[in-house]
Chains A and B, each alone.
Chain A
Amino acid sequence: MHRFIPVLCALLFVSGTSQTEPKSQYAQDYRQRCELILDWADSTDQSNFLVAAARIVHGPNRQTGIEMFHRLTEDYQGTPMGMFQFYRLMIGYCAARPWLPNETHNGVKELIRSGNFYRGDTENHLTLYYTALYLAAQAFPNLPGHEWYTGKSSEENRWEAEGWFENWIELTTTIGQGEFDSPTYMAVFLSGLIGLHQFCEDPVLKEKIHGMLLWLIADYSVEHLQGVYAGAHSREYPDRLLIKRHPASEMNYWAWLFFAQTEEPLFNSIFLPAALSDFVPPDILHRIGTERDKPYTHNETKRVRHILRLGKERNPRVYKTTYMCKDFALGSMMGGAVLQPIQQHTWDVSFVGSSPYGTLFTVHPFVGEEDMGMFFPEEMKFATDQVIKAHTYYADPGKWASSSPYEKTFQHRNSIIVLYDLPPGVRYPHIDGFFPRDLEARHEDESGWIFCRSDQTFIAFYPLKPYRWIKEEHGWRMRSESLQNGCVVQVEQAGSFPSFDAFKETLRHTTLVHDTFDETGLISYSTPAGDVMTFAFDGDRLLNGQPIDFSEHGFFKGPFLNGEPGSRRLEIRHNDDCLILDFNGQGAIVQQMEQE
């Protein structure tokens, strides 16, 4: 075991500052990528405060930026603005402020006096709203309440924003995020926090936000696989679940910016705060996000977002497991309850390769009042009907994103058992599996296994009940209509076997016992590595006869990230480097450690 000692002034070493030119090759390359984003802003047709600010700061198109910024301040007068407009306005204003004429300053001031900024009701909404409110209070200090849309003074608004961030940091560093590991919304968190970190003038809050930025990027880096945010997600949109390398996926962009393993993405203004910022992630996170030579299992504990009703706990724990190697990732959360509304993604295999899809998973398309009632204050029946109207995919029997109380998983390393126990009368009495269309092989074997191959990944999928194939645009839908249902999935690197046939032969000789599944719900599977996984929907998860102890699951637990629940502390380790994020209020939050 290495022993580490803290070194001084970690902040300066782990991120660039406004006065310090980044020195490492990674940092220089990162700044060059930021420069490409600013180049895009100079010529894009998009018009918003961030694009305007980027042009102003970048220079070549400064005058058009100044004009755009002023026009927007005029256009938005009298127009309700949500948190997304508000944070663009304030980050853009902070960045462009030195170049703006007085009339534009006055326009911004008038917006915060007479505007109507809706706070929103999700974690990402609140992050953006309070980022913007904080920066607005900082930009317009000492204003009385009647000069603010809130009716509160600048100081009161700043206190409120600080209070929210204190609470969010406490929750995130003790029991985890509620909107965790969402490819779409992680991008939103990062965008807001990078802007706040850049323009926050209070060194205390600035350091906290810096620590949280590193926390979130570290959280992402261990589940990053060649541009894909692997593993289970609290929220994601269906098209992006199927097309993992979606050209408009925000996290593909961040993957490019942070890890530089993928092609230049389609730019979007949500990423401009990074280009307007001096922030550079520390190289250790880049290495953790890209080095996959040695397979590893990473555990995390997250939380369910705030449950308002129909639950005994406000924030039940969510136990995640992700197995990572250079060719694929297998990730899951344990399930067994509605953990997130609408967009939950409980498990998948993500694999590297040329396919835009690169994924395989199953889902039960659950639709129920609980989905709305647990997480939203509106009337349950009405809210459900409204969501069905607004998001037609929600009630689609073929939807690919769904929470379901009737789905549970048991993952051990690169093996997973997924069980479904659908009650009679459930709205959609079937499960669906997604098999992308460009799999190199999808062979239904007499043994009952379906053997799949994609580039350097072999997948064996054992359906527990009869199924049929439905050919669709993006691949094959494997539909199975038994109420008690499930599958066993084994994923392997192609390089671990002499051939695909050898892989098949190995799986044919594994022991899979499900004779009594209909009566007992019990299944037992002996993995190729020799571990025995035993699982029943209403029973324990047994590994080699021993029940899984979730108290040992860890807040973060793996070769790169480690932290205990409630600790407010994350240890980030790669080879001989170690970075500590410590929010316990003693010393610096970000501490660089060196091997003694």
Chain B
Amino acid sequence: MTLSKITRILLFVLAGCCNQALAGPPTLYVVTRVTKNYHHPGIKNPAAGLFATRDSGKSWEHLGWPYGKFFSVSAHLLDNGDTLLCQACGNGVLISQDSGASWRISTGWEITECLKTAIHPHDPQILYTATAYGLYKSIDGGNSWAGCNHGLISTFTPTLIIDRENPEHLFCATEAGVHRSLDAGQSWEPIGLLGKGIRTLQQHPENSSILVAGTEDDGVFVSIDHGKSWQSASTGLKHLTVYALSFVPGKPETLYCGTYLGGVYRSRDLGRSWKPVNDGLTNLAIHALTTDPNNPETVYAGTLGDGVWRSSNEGDTWEFAGLETSEVWDFHWLLPETAENQF
């Protein structure tokens, strides 16, 4: 048993005695793909991959592999106090069940170019990964995986989300529109935006019937009926390639979107109108966005090549927050209190 694991167990025991300690700050996981210097294997480059910060970016801890093609991460608080981390990578799905102390490539040669993972909110044995070759599901914590693509029009699947209200219901983005499964991935049906390359999907944190989608060339779309119908929501967007979207807890009408070369846009009316908010932001290629769950005024933007940027005033102004020169591909929050309370 490693020293860090022993330390974490002790902390968990202490936390059990003093609940306040466990309910510390949330962890923001950040997936960086490569640095601007590009990773030449065999040379001691600065690490890329998975980083975590618990102090709003003042300090960063690197976790796991330092080199590879990393796309995204999902996190889940396990009953033993450890964190389950599932990283989607070029080499497959990397899984850690001990908060990042050790890792296993859970997938074999068949599964590659993994772009997104999703963890069942109530059963961490059930995992999904969305890849450039389709969707795969594991029901044994990643020990085995099986394809679950029946009904998909396109198997290029950049992302997948589990319906918070009903985890049997899944939504996935494909190169040919949004698909839905009502049977935990056994079958899929196209439900909207057919023919459009969907880059990102998000579910509203308070109203699960509201979904938003960012597209390759067509801006933002909003659905208020679980994806049955979609309306274009791009008024004011001058850049229609949308890689990232973020809701704001406690502000149900506020939405941010991250565009390619147009920076960050903010909407106060759930996408009916948008305004660019890039003051201080020096790189306008945005691939990840998120809002601090404990402080909804604070927004993080992940740039493609210039690391993480933070705004403490809802995007009005931005300041550099770390991971210099990194291509930031994904953000994921883990709140310490409960497994369900992820954002």
Instruction: List residues of chain A with CB within 8 A of the CB of B106.
Output: 151
B133 at interface by CB-CB < 8 Å: yes
A163 with B260: CB separation less than 8 A: no
Q: Which of A85, A119, A121, A163 contacts B42 (CB 8 A)?
A: A85
**Which B residues between 130 and 157 are near A, CB-CB below 8 angstroms?**
131-133, 154, 156
Q: Which of B50-58, B97-105, B184-192, B273-281 contacts A (4 or more CB under 8 A)?
A: B97-105
Among B38, B42, B102, B112, which residue has the most Cβ atoms of chain A within 10 A?
B42
- Using an 8 Å CB-CB cutoff, how does the interface string of A156-192 with B read, 1 for contact, 0 for none? 0001110110010000000000000000000000000
Instruction: List residues of chain A with CB within 8 A of the CB of B333.
Output: none
A79 at interface by CB-CB < 8 Å: yes
Q: How far is the CB of A120 from chain B (nearest CB, A)?
A: 8
Q: How far is the CB of B106 from chain A (nearest CB, A)?
A: 8
B175 at interface by CB-CB < 8 Å: yes
B38 with A82: CB separation less than 8 A: no
A80 at interface by CB-CB < 8 Å: yes
Known: A152-B104, A381-B260. A167 touches B109 (CB 8 A): yes
A116 with B66: CB separation less than 8 A: yes
Instruction: List residues of chain B with CB within 8 A of the CB of A379.
Output: 199, 241, 243, 260, 287
A237 at interface by CB-CB < 8 Å: no
A517 at interface by CB-CB < 8 Å: no
B245 at interface by CB-CB < 8 Å: no
Residue numbers of B with Cβ under 8 A of A are 38-45, 65-69, 71, 90-91, 95, 102-106, 108-110, 112-113, 115, 131-133, 154, 156, 175, 197, 199, 216, 241, 243, 260-261, 285, 287, 304
| Distance between Cα atoms of A20 and B65 in the complex (Å) | 45
Known: A151-B103, A380-B216. A79 touches B44 (CB 8 A): yes
B102 with A146: CB separation less than 8 A: yes
Q: How far is the CB of A288 from chain B (nearest CB, A)?
A: 33
A529 at interface by CB-CB < 8 Å: no
A9 at interface by CB-CB < 8 Å: no
Known: A79-B44, A310-B175, A390-B38. A118 touches B104 (CB 8 A): no
Known: A76-B42, A82-B42. A121 touches B113 (CB 8 A): yes
Q: How far is the CB of B221 from chain A (nearest CB, A)?
A: 18
**Which A residues between 343 and 377 are near B, CB-CB below 8 angstroms?**
377
A80 with B113: CB separation less than 8 A: no
Instruction: List residues of chain B with CB within 8 A of the CB of A310.
Output: 175
CB-nearest residue of chain A to B71: A377
A265 at interface by CB-CB < 8 Å: no
| Distance between Cα atoms of A338 and B109 in the complex (Å) | 26
A308 with B41: CB separation less than 8 A: no
| Distance between Cα atoms of A369 and B165 in the complex (Å) | 38
A84 with B109: CB separation less than 8 A: no
B90 with A119: CB separation less than 8 A: yes
Q: How far is the CB of A151 from chain B (nearest CB, A)?
A: 3
Q: A163-B109, A164-B109, A390-B38 are in contact. List 18 more A-B contacts (CB 8 A).
A: A78-B44, A79-B43, A80-B41, A80-B42, A80-B65, A82-B42, A83-B41, A116-B65, A119-B112, A120-B90, A130-B109, A145-B104, A150-B105, A151-B104, A167-B109, A377-B71, A379-B260, A381-B216
Known: A163-B109, A308-B132, A310-B175. A118 touches B241 (CB 8 A): no
A532 at interface by CB-CB < 8 Å: no
A382 at interface by CB-CB < 8 Å: yes
A121 with B69: CB separation less than 8 A: yes
B102 with A151: CB separation less than 8 A: yes
Among A151, A167, A377, A390, which residue has the most Cβ atoms of chain B within 10 A?
A377
Instruction: List residues of chain B with CB within 8 A of the CB of A81.
Output: 41-42
A308 with B108: CB separation less than 8 A: no
| Distance between Cα atoms of A163 and B110 in the complex (Å) | 9
Q: How far is the CB of B190 from chain A (nearest CB, A)?
A: 15
A-B contact pairs, 19 of them (CB 8 A): A79-B42, A80-B67, A81-B42, A82-B41, A116-B66, A118-B91, A120-B90, A146-B102, A150-B104, A150-B105, A151-B95, A151-B105, A152-B104, A152-B105, A161-B109, A167-B109, A309-B197, A377-B71, A379-B243
CB-nearest residue of chain B to A126: B109
| Distance between Cα atoms of A145 and B113 in the complex (Å) | 23
Instruction: List residues of chain A with CB within 8 A of the CB of B43.
Output: 79
B108 with A163: CB separation less than 8 A: yes
Instruction: List residues of chain A with CB within 8 A of the CB of B131.
Output: 377
Q: Which of B68, B108, B285 contacts A118 (CB 8 A)?
A: B68
| Distance between Cα atoms of A548 and B285 in the complex (Å) | 48
B45 with A80: CB separation less than 8 A: yes
Instruction: List residues of chain A with CB within 8 A of the CB of B216.
Output: 380-381
Instruction: List residues of chain A with CB within 8 A of the CB of B154.
Output: 309
B156 with A308: CB separation less than 8 A: yes
Closest 9 CB pairs of A and B: A151-B104, A82-B41, A80-B67, A377-B132, A309-B156, A164-B109, A309-B175, A308-B132, A377-B113
Q: How far is the CB of B294 from chain A (nearest CB, A)?
A: 30
Q: How far is the CB of B26 from chain A (nearest CB, A)?
A: 27
**Which A residues between 498 and 546 are near B, CB-CB below 8 angstroms?**
none
Instruction: List residues of chain A with CB within 8 A of the CB of B243.
Output: 379
Q: How far is the CB of A497 from chain B (nearest CB, A)?
A: 53
Instruction: List residues of chain B with CB within 8 A of the CB of A161.
Output: 109
| Distance between Cα atoms of A23 and B267 in the complex (Å) | 79
CB-nearest residue of chain A to B90: A121
Instruction: List residues of chain A with CB within 8 A of the CB of B91.
Output: 118-119
| Distance between Cα atoms of A126 and B67 in the complex (Å) | 16
Among B91, B95, B103, B304, which residue has the most Cβ atoms of chain A within 10 A?
B91
Instruction: List residues of chain B with CB within 8 A of the CB of A82.
Output: 40-42, 67
Q: How far is the CB of A384 from chain B (nearest CB, A)?
A: 11
**Which A residues between 109 and 135 are near B, CB-CB below 8 angstroms?**
116, 118-121, 126, 130
Instruction: List residues of chain A with CB within 8 A of the CB of B66.
Output: 80, 116
Q: How far is the CB of A100 from chain B (nearest CB, A)?
A: 20
Instruction: List residues of chain A with CB within 8 A of the CB of B105.
Output: 150-152
| Distance between Cα atoms of A84 and B41 in the complex (Å) | 8
A382 with B103: CB separation less than 8 A: no
CB-nearest residue of chain B to A160: B108
CB-nearest residue of chain B to A381: B260
